Every structure is written in structure tokens, then in C-alpha cells.
Structure 1
Amino acid sequence: MRDMTGVPIQQMADRVAGLMEERLRVRGQGLAEKLRKGGRLLPRRVRTAAEVLQTGAVMAQNPKMWAQVDQAAVAQAYDTCVRHLGGVDHKDRRKGALIGVLGSIAFSVLVVAVLLGAVLYWRGFI
């Protein structure tokens, strides 16, 4: 395993924050704010890994806390985040959201049509 210092951990956090902005379109300064704003867009294990990375980056800023950073856990968390965010396609996410909205609208129109038909039948018009 490579020897990590505070700067590479911060660089890892910055890289994950950049990927969140690029792939998920989450705005904000730094990983902590992006996790607060867009953490719900990540699966639980990836969100937890990003939180571990953020905690490690904050602890690495203080020389006394640096000794308590679990470097293997931070490296694993970074790999988990990068692996997940690297596979996210924002165009595909947008297309999926549009299909979901159109499906919801179609279902609503179908329910209204069925209810209208039932009321017309019940009133004797059909």
C-alpha cells in the first residue's frame, strides 16, 4: 500500500467532489456540501464511502488527528466512489427520469379514463 499524506486524501476528496458535479450535476463547494445537497442520489454504500472519505480529509488537515486516519479505509472508500461515479451517465439518468414522468402521466390519464367510463356506465349513458 502506498504511503498517504494529508494532501493526497484531500485530492481524493476533491476528485470525488468533481465527479459528483460532473456526473450527478450536484453544485457546491467541496465534498461535504455536495454530499449534503446530493447524497440522496448515491446508493447507501457509496454515500457511506464518500462520508468516510470526507471524514478522512477533514482529519488529515490536523496533524494530531492524522495519526487516527484509517488510510486503508479511506483508499477503499475512494475506490468505491470513483468506481460508482465513473459508471454514471447523466444523459441516461435524464432519459430515465423523463420516461418515469411520461409513464406517470400515462397511468394518470388511464385511471381518469377508466373512472370516467365507470361513472358514465353507472349513470346509464353507456
Structure 2
Amino acid sequence: MDLQDRAETLARLMEERLDIRGPDLAAKTRRARRRVPRWLRRELMALVQALEYSRHPKFAARIDHARIETGARRAQNWLEQVDATDRRKSLVIHWLAGNAFNVLVVIGLAVGVMAWRGLI
């Protein structure tokens, strides 16, 4: 599998599994930020840089294909293990839990102010 095919596969997986939109792998990697581990961003950026180097004949010789292939394989394995539905479900649960906590804090403050003013 050449670099371009590998990049397209990883970009498709990022869109399917992590809901990251973008025109290419470079844009999706920049948008991923905290959704992916740091080592994965590093490997993806190495692949993006290798793609840029492959367009120039002198720089193409500097590409470490073994490292890029190993990193791309690790990235693909990680992305294939991500469960998109579980990720979405946990995002909704965390959002609801945060809002429930905020409502409880506001109610507690309101009761505290009412008690302080002697209304309770």
C-alpha cells in the first residue's frame, strides 16, 4: 500500500469513527486535537509530512518508509478499535451529567440565599 492509499484509509477511518471532517488527512489531524492520543497525532503528522516529501524528488529519498508504515499500521489499528456509537453515547452522558451538576449548584445557591435572607 503506498502513502496516498494509506492516508486516504486513515482519513476515512477518522471521519467514520471520530466524526472529524476535513478535505484531507492533514486537516483532519489538525482538527483531531484531544480526541486522539498524542502518539497518534505524531504518527499521522509524520505521514502527512512524508506525503509532502514524496511530491519532491530530492526529498522523497529522505522518507523512512519503515517508520511511516509502522506508524500508519499502529494508527489504523487504534482507529479501528474506536467504537463510534459508544463514543457518542459517552459524550451525551457527560454533557447531561455536567448540566445536571450545574442545575444542582444553582438550586443550592438559591436555597442558600433564601436561607440567608430568612425566607426559609
**What is the TM-score with the length of structure 2 in the denominator?**
0.90
Q: Quick one: which of 52, 73, 81 aligns to 2:75?
A: 81
SS in 2 for 1:37: helix
Give the letter for the 1:64 counterpart. K
Q: Quick one: which of 15, 18, 22 aligns to 1:21?
A: 15
Match of 1:42 in 2: 36
SS in 2 for 1:114: helix
Q: Deviations over 1:62-93 (max 9, x none)?
A: 22212100112101210221011111122111
Shift in Å, 1:22: 1.2
Q: Quick one: which of 5, 30, 36 aligns to 1:11?
A: 5
Unaligned runs of 5+ in 1: 1-6
Give the letter for the 2:116 counterpart. W
Task: Assess, with a 3 A threshold, how the Cα gap between structure 1 residues 48 and 11 changes in structure 2: closer, same or farther.
Answer: same
Q: Name which of structure 1's ranges 71-80 and 33-42 shifts more when overlaid on structure 2.
A: 33-42
Over the aligned positions, Cα root-mean-square deviation in angstroms equals 1.5
Distance 1:92 1:108 in 2: 24
Match of 2:88 in 1: 94
Distance 2:33 2:50 in 1: 17
Shift in Å, 1:39: 3.8
SS in 1 for 2:21: coil
Shift in Å, 1:125: 1.9
Q: Quick one: which of 26, 33, 36 aligns to 2:27?
A: 33
Q: Deviations over 1:67-120 (max 9, x none)?
A: 100112101210221011111122111111111111111101111111111111
Shift in Å, 1:37: 2.7
Aligned residues: 120
Distance 1:30 1:123 in 2: 60
Match of 2:55 in 1: 61
Unaligned runs of 5+ in 2: none
Give the letter for the 1:52 counterpart. A
Shift in Å, 1:48: 0.6
